[in-house]
Structure 1
Amino acid sequence: MSLQPLHRSPRWALTGLSLSMLMPSLDTSIANAGLPTLAAAFGAAFAQVQWVVLAYLLAITTLIVSAGRLGDLIGRRRLMLIGISLFTAASLCCALAPGLAWLITARAVQGLGAAVMLALTAALVGDAVPKAQSGRAMGLLGTMSAIGTSLGPSLGGLLIAQAGWPSIFLINVPLGLLNGWLVWRHLPADRAVETRVRFDHAGTMALALTLGAYALAMTVTGTPGATLALLSISLLGLGLFVAVERRAAAPLMRMALFADPRRAAGLAMTALVATVMMTTLVVGPFYLSRGLGLGSLAVGLALSVGPLVAALGGVPAGWLVDRFGARRMVAGGLSAMAGGCLLLAVLPTGLGLPGYLVPIAWVTAGYALFQAANSSALMVDVGQDLRGVMSAMLGLARNLGLITGAAAMGTVFALAAGDPAQAPAAMIAAGLHLTFGVAATLMAIALAVNGRARSLSVSVGLR
């Protein structure tokens, strides 16, 4: 049966949701390109300007689930408009920052707006797009996420070179105004909400402690003892969160959401896949520049292959999900990523640049398919009152995977390559082999998790 095209209103609504995914994803990585410039502009050490990136990531990681639950309580469209307004205003404050402390504070507020946008975007798809076309919609949102994250460094470098560092934040102002107008004009009004339901403040604080400690452990360079202490705090916070949620009258996160083992598996697979995708962003530039000896222009062109494949592959991936079913396409996407990682571990040193670009394109295409399928599978049967929390959990799993990939997989790469900025080509190649060998193993684990969840679902009678 052929699928009908979206009508005008859903199409414009989806455009607004796409911007709501693109903007915060872009700002996850765009500031990285400006860190050296910011250090010079404010006369600060690298460890200080690093908080321009960390403040944003920490705000998203600690608040995204709470934002999703709040959207379920007060109305998702209403809260989305608030989030877009916060993000846009904070972006302007970043561009006008007279000092580093101001900039870091504004980035934290920007992260709060981004947490709302990332938490609610997938949840609002069900309100704006016919169910039969949700796969294509999720494919487009996955495309926006992938493009934003991977395009950030190169776009940031171009903007800084042409217009100075404030431009990497000013670009959000016209986009934010357009985004807010599209959401206000084309998304349907919120349904009536239960105003008597209380917000779980204790659970929110416990979860923020847990996620904040983990994010700091993964992102802040320090002694092994400090990292271990932060991870211990994160584990203690997790235990506290579970205890609080069991007693809460209106819990932040209902454990009944995970009665279907496919939901827990879907979130775990999202984190694993995001870890692998961040690996390509960490390892790729070093391999292209030092391993293959490419100049900056050639490196930039090579790095654009991933965003290009994501841009071209997201909508076809969504069509495949709508045509063949989300569950089947989850396995297809994971298999493609596993195969691409294996090729990255063995081909580049023998074939040079083509041996790197072809597997990267294959991995990115698999990622686009997985994103569309897994997002659709996770959101399809969630009740209206819990859709925001489920969407936020999906965003949280993705963000934790990105943070873990930058830290853990970067460490794996350094084990074989030494200092990537100084290592010779042979050591860089050895680091590539090891890192993508580990990445392929992670994808094999994700496939096993998917297979196990499907078998458990069949055994308990879930379809």
Structure 2
Amino acid sequence: MQEENDGLPQPQRLWAVLALAVSIAMAVMDSSIANVALPAIAADLRVPPSDAILVVNAYQIAVVMALLPLASLGELIGHEKIYRTGLALFVIASLFCAMADSLAGLATARAVQGLGAAGLMSVNTALVRFIYPQRLLGQGVGVNALVVAISSVLGPSVAAAILSVAHWPWIFAVNIPVGALALLLAIRFLPATPRARRPFDAASAILSAATFGLVMTALEQFARGAPAWQAGLILGSGVLAGIALVRRQAGRAAPLLPVDLLRIPVFALSVVTSICSFAAQMLAFVALPFFLQHGLGRSQVETGLLMTPWPLVLIIVSPLAGRASDRLPAGLLGGLGLGLMATGLALLAWLPDAPTALDIGWRMALCGLGFGLFQSPNNRALLSSAPRERSGGASGMLSTSRLLGQTSGAALAALTLRLAGENGAMRGLGVAAAIAAAAALISFSRLTARPR
């Protein structure tokens, strides 16, 4: 086994980075790649649009349930084992997603796919530490963050490209050859990582999965119109599990849920900002396909293309914002960015009658500009506000906050579509704008928060 900070020699490092980049891009992209196809999936499977969003939520809930337990398990049996197993499960589940002929079957396959994705997301950042030498670690973290940032918004564009030549099952089937190639690279080139000498805290893992799973399921059930008592019972159970989890983690040297870090004001504010911003983004990404296709009469392919300016601008802005965060406060950059995103979302919600592609495109670009200004500085603030020895816990919370936001956003989208009917997509964009504006205010509050 290699030394902790030695990194890999070339060309093994290049192939290992490629394995990580391809697989994590698939896992992150699959959070939103089905959004453009949701209207077609709902029509094909003969279910209401609000029910079709279960295809998104099943994936998100499974990921957020398994993320922290798998991150902890990776420290005990090796991060590379968790990664390879997760990737193999993701590829197999993608096959069953493509073959599904009912909403129940597709949602079940998506949940299993989410468990595989959790294996990738939980240890991805930790593996970067063992792939790059210490002197190049910042470069490795930057590359990884850029892949995640681009993949999180590129789903609709990739889906549009696939749907222009094939039916919706192919947005899942395309993962099979790409994932198989990434798995071969992962088996061959990922390094073995050190194993911690402590028992696996199974009780905390179960409580963590129950907390996140029950709370997110309660939101999903409420959004789909389940009886209030039923959603309330599930939510109450999740809250009780969360209380038990927090009490169990108190005083532990390496808690599965890093409650110690949440006592740091800048860290806690950065987590809340991340949850709100990703909720706004996912709410918009679910609402926009329905808005563009049902409200404006655009095709699936046109929808994906019209959403493309968002990720294109993000690709340009993210690295520039990351460099700017070395000189300017993350609270300022994030607040300005989220303010621009809120403005773009509000302008999309109130488009003029019969808008042109340009009318839609520049508003999408404004959203991408705002999100790009926010994400890299926020990630840097979140990671750097935690002590160096707790960087693993900080990394886990970074992924968890993103997934909590995305799952909440998808649930809110289902709720607005159910309650507002034909105007649900437009109302959803308005709600997303309000959430982004609130996130901007939270980001600005970091300018006066204590660093520790």
Say yes or no: TM over 0.5.
yes
Give the distance between the partners of 2:281 and 2:238, measured in 1 at CA.
Answer: 24
**1:183-202 counterparts in 2 under 5 A?**
183-190=186-193, 192-195=194-197, 197-202=198-203
Change (3 A) 1:281 1:32: closer
- 2:286 counterpart (273, 279, 282): 282
1:83 and 2:86 are equivalent in the alignment: yes
1:63 and 2:63 are equivalent in the alignment: no
Give the distance between the partners of 1:413 and 1:36, measured in 2 at CA.
Answer: 12
CA shift digits 1:332-380 (9 cap, x unpaired): 2441232232244247534834343212212112223322222233334
Number of the residue aligned with 1:3:
none
Number of the residue aligned with 2:374:
370
Are the aligned partners of 1:337 and 1:443 in contact in 2 as well (CA < 8 Å)?
yes
For 1:400, the aligned partner's letter is L
1:154 and 2:156 are equivalent in the alignment: no
**1:433-448 counterparts in 2 under 5 A?**
435-448=428-441
Give the distance between the partners of 1:288 and 1:100, measured in 2 at CA.
Answer: 23
- SS at 2:260 equivalent: helix
Give the distance between the partners of 2:309 and 2:278, measured in 1 at CA.
Answer: 18
CA shift digits 1:231-284 (9 cap, x unpaired): 222222221221222376863223223343222222211111111111321332
Number of the residue aligned with 1:406:
410
CA shift digits 1:106-155 (9 cap, x unpaired): 4333221111112222333333342342335422321122213x346535
1:169 and 2:172 are equivalent in the alignment: yes
For 2:440, the aligned partner's letter is L
Are the aligned partners of 1:277 and 1:402 in contact in 2 as well (CA < 8 Å)?
yes
Are the aligned partners of 2:19 and 2:186 in contact in 1 as well (CA < 8 Å)?
yes
- SS at 1:394 equivalent: helix
CA deviation after TM superposition for structure 1 residue 66, in Å: 0.9
Number of the residue aligned with 1:144:
151
Identity %: 29
Give the distance between the partners of 1:304 and 1:229, measured in 2 at CA.
Answer: 40
- SS at 1:230 equivalent: helix
CA deviation after TM superposition for structure 1 residue 406, in Å: 2.1
- SS at 2:195 equivalent: coil
1:345 and 2:349 are equivalent in the alignment: no
- 1:391 counterpart (386, 390, 395): 395
1:131 and 2:137 are equivalent in the alignment: yes
- SS at 1:255 equivalent: coil
1:452 and 2:440 are equivalent in the alignment: no
Change (3 A) 1:326 1:31: farther
Number of the residue aligned with 1:262:
266
- What is the count of residue pairs matched by the alignment? 434
Change (3 A) 1:342 1:15: same
Number of the residue aligned with 1:227:
231
Number of the residue aligned with 1:336:
337
Are the aligned partners of 1:31 and 1:153 in contact in 2 as well (CA < 8 Å)?
yes
Number of the residue aligned with 2:114:
111
Are the aligned partners of 1:13 and 1:183 in contact in 2 as well (CA < 8 Å)?
yes
Show structure 2 runs of 5+ residues with no match: 1-8
CA deviation after TM superposition for structure 1 residue 67, in Å: 1.2
CA deviation after TM superposition for structure 1 residue 158, in Å: 4.2
Change (3 A) 1:168 1:410: closer
Give the distance between the partners of 1:227 and 1:307, measured in 2 at CA.
Answer: 35
